[in-house]
């Protein structure tokens, strides 16, 4: 008899990892860590159409990204539900022998007809006392007992269900294969699961599962149903209409730590006035009793804000390192051979405070690695309507040919010109910025010029002057 809390995370392999699933996994992981328990991963692959080996690796990888390390001593699995099929069937037959289940030969169509005739919905218990033997096409149904079932839920309190509202659900299909509800319970019992923490959508199923636990002769686990994540329409996040794949956020340059931290603030909050806290603090403070009862909107804007915080908290070398995949990616606008790590390193600090996602980095520095900047026509037209635009550029072209090539001197030169022309430097530099970078916004201009180099700078000034003739 072990008193070690055993949590479990039981995703079905559907091809991508859902942010909602990520949060559930994190809750389980935090609790297992906090209580010195175990996190059991079980892949619910009973539905053949969902069964694909590579999906399993995807799940392990996603968990690893979140910091749920499958090599940890507190991690167990992965187990596969499909491996336990014989146990599920055996349990079903035991239930039949115990009188907790019976065979039924009604087809779904017949059930519907009967329901329609009775003006009600669902299966009406028709085969309950017909004493049918097993036979081809017959399903095994659970005999729901009379009374009420009380689900003790750590986040919701006691939830009461009148058993008359629970229909005699199917345990074994007509082809003999076990249904999810059964498989799930049998596995949980088999794996000594003590705590079931999952999304609220499973709450209506819980009385059925609890009945199954009891019929099988076991005390049910501690339940906890956490609210679902919703979109701006307040509907449960779904892969069809919402951006829910963890991988997608990862690809955009959301840091794992930011994702984890953000996910944990949905339905719960760390103590104190700041939400940005390390995982260790979360493990220390997280309690199911403190989890909110209502659905939470998955706000990408706030996720990005968190990410910006985490990006800025990186040391410079860490930041440079983190950017690397996006700088080496195949879809960058420059030729891979033109990328210069040293050049990027020289401006990285200026970029770090200007992005909230790592995927933004490449367009912010592309002008440094391109032969010619990608010019935003609108920006060009707009900035070059200023009457000082051409004279300023011509002036720069001449002065920059001989000036000391430091950002201080580059700036000092334009400062002087601004003074002379009675124009603010902010306005004056705009055409130069567009000529060099192609855009009106970007990293500080003079530092950019310094790393770009004299030759390239002069070339781009000439090119811009040529365009305006």
Partner RNA sequence: GCUCCCAUCGUCUAGUGGCCUAGGACACCACCCUCUCAAGGUGGCGGCACGGGUUCGAAUCCCGUUGGGAGUGCCA
Which of 32/172 has CB closer to RNA?
Answer: 172
Mask of contacts with RNA, 414-433, x by CB under 7 A?
-----------xx--xx--x
Considering the rule CB under 7 A, would residue 375 count as an interface residue with RNA?
no
Considering the rule CB under 7 A, would residue 240 count as an interface residue with RNA?
no
What's the CA gap between 184 and 79, in Å, rounded?
12
Three-state secondary structure call for residue 414:
helix
Which of 218/312 has CB closer to RNA?
Answer: 312
Considering the rule CB under 7 A, would residue 358 count as an interface residue with RNA?
no
Which of 71/233 has CB closer to RNA?
Answer: 233
What's the CA gap between 113 and 138, in Å, rounded?
18
Considering the rule CB under 7 A, would residue 77 count as an interface residue with RNA?
no
Nearest CA among 12, 45, 3, 6 for reference residue 29: 6
Query: Which residues does 388 contact at the CB level (< 8 Å), separation at least 6?
Result: 421, 423, 428
Which of 222/328 has CB closer to RNA?
Answer: 222
| Selected catalytic residue, list 116, 120, 235, 239 | 239
Instruction: Rounding to the nearest 10 degrees, give the CA dihedral for residues 420, 424, 426, 430.
Output: -60
Considering the rule CB under 7 A, would residue 202 count as an interface residue with RNA?
yes
Which of 261/456 has CB closer to RNA?
Answer: 261
E-only strand ranges, 274-346: 296-297
Strand order in the sheet with 148-153: 75-80, 38-43, 6-9, 195-199, 222-226, 148-153, 157-162
In the complex, least distance from residue 168 CB atom to RNA, rounded to whole angstroms: 10
Considering the rule CB under 7 A, would residue 235 count as an interface residue with RNA?
yes
End-to-end C-alpha distance for the chain, whole angstroms: 87
Reported as type and span, the H/E element at residue 196 is strand 195-199
What's the CA gap between 46 and 15, in Å, rounded?
15
What's the CA gap between 203 and 226, in Å, rounded?
9
Mask of contacts with RNA, 7-46, x by CB under 7 A?
-----x-------------------------------xxx
Task: Give the binding range for RNA (CB under 7 A) out of 70-78, 117-125, 240-248, 454-462.
Answer: 117-125
Which of 88/250 has CB closer to RNA?
Answer: 88
Mask of contacts with RNA, 382-421, x by CB under 7 A?
-------------------------x---x----------
Nearest CA among 43, 82, 46, 12 for reference residue 179: 46
Angle made by CA atoms 315, 325, 438, in degrees to the nearest 5: 90
Instruction: Rounding to the nearest 10 degrees, give the CA dihedral for residues 286, 288, 292, 297.
Output: 70
Considering the rule CB under 7 A, would residue 462 count as an interface residue with RNA?
no
Angle made by CA atoms 305, 309, 315, in degrees to the nearest 5: 150
- 239 included as an active-site residue: yes
Place of tokens 């017909």: 130
Q: Which of residues 267-296 bind RNA (CB under 7 A)?
A: 267-269, 273-275, 289-290, 292-296
Task: Give the binding range for RNA (CB under 7 A) out of 68-76, 85-93, 125-133, 174-182.
Answer: 174-182
Three-state secondary structure call for residue 47:
coil
Considering the rule CB under 7 A, would residue 204 count as an interface residue with RNA?
yes
Q: Which of residues 285-344 bind RNA (CB under 7 A)?
A: 289-290, 292-297, 299, 301-302, 305, 308-309, 312
Q: Which of 8, 443, 457, 460 binds RNA (CB under 7 A)?
A: 443
Which of 72/111 has CB closer to RNA?
Answer: 111
Considering the rule CB under 7 A, would residue 446 count as an interface residue with RNA?
yes
Tell me the catalytic residues: 239
């Amino acid at each position: 008899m072990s008193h070690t809390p055993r949590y479990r995370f039981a995703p079905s392999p559907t091809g991508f990892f859902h942010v909602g699933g990520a949060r559930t996994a994190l809750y389980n992981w935090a609790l297992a860590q906090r209580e010195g328990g175990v996190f059991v991963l079980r892949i619910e692959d009973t539905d053949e159409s969902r069964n694909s080996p590579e999906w399993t690796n995807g799940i392990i990888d996603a968990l690893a990204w979140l910091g749920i390390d499958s090599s940890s001593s507190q991690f167990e699995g992965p187990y596969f539900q499909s491996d336990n099929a014989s146990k599920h069937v055996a349990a079903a037959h035991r239930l039949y022998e115990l009188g907790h289940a019976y065979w039924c030969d009604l087809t779904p169509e017949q059930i519907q007809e009967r329901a329609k005739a009775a003006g009600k919905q669902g299966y009406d218990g028709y085969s309950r006392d017909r004493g049918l033997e097993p036979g081809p096409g017959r399903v095994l149904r659970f005999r729901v007992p009379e009374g009420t079932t009380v689900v003790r839920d750590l986040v919701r309190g006691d939830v009461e269900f009148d058993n008359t509202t629970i229909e005699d659900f199917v345990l074994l299909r007509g082809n003999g294969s076990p249904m999810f509800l059964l498989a799930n319970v049998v596995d949980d019992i088999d794996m000594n699961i003590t705590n079931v923490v999952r999304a609220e959508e499973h709450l209506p199923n819980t009385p059925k599962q609890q009945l199954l636990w009891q019929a099988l002769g076991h005390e049910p686990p501690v339940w906890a149903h956490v609210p679902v994540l919703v979109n701006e329409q307040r509907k449960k996040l779904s892969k069809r209409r919402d951006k829910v794949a963890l991988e997608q956020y990862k690809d955009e340059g959301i840091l794992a730590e930011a994702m984890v931290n953000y996910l944990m603030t949905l339905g719960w909050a760390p103590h104190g006035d700041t939400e940005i806290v390390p995982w260790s603090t979360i493990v220390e403070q997280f309690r199911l009793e403190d989890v909110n009862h209502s659905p939470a909107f998955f706000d990408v804007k706030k996720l990005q804000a968190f990410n910006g915080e985490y990006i800025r908290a990186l040391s410079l070398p860490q930041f440079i390192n983190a950017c690397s995949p996006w700088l080496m990616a195949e879809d960058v606008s420059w030729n891979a051979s033109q990328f210069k790590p040293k050049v990027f390193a020289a401006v990285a600090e200026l970029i770090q405070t200007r992005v909230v996602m790592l995927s933004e980095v490449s367009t912010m520095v592309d002008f440094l690695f391109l032969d010619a900047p990608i010019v935003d026509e609108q920006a060009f037209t707009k900035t070059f309507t200023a009457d000082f635009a051409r004279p300023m550029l011509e002036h720069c072209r001449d002065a920059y040919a001989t000036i000391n090539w430091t950002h201080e001197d580059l700036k000092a030169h334009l400062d002087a010109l601004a003074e002379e022309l009675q124009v603010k430097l902010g306005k004056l530099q705009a055409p130069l910025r567009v000529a060099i970078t192609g855009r009106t916004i970007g990293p500080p201009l003079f530092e950019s010029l310094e790393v770009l180099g004299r030759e390239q700078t002069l070339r781009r000034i000439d090119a811009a002057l040529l365009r305006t003739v």
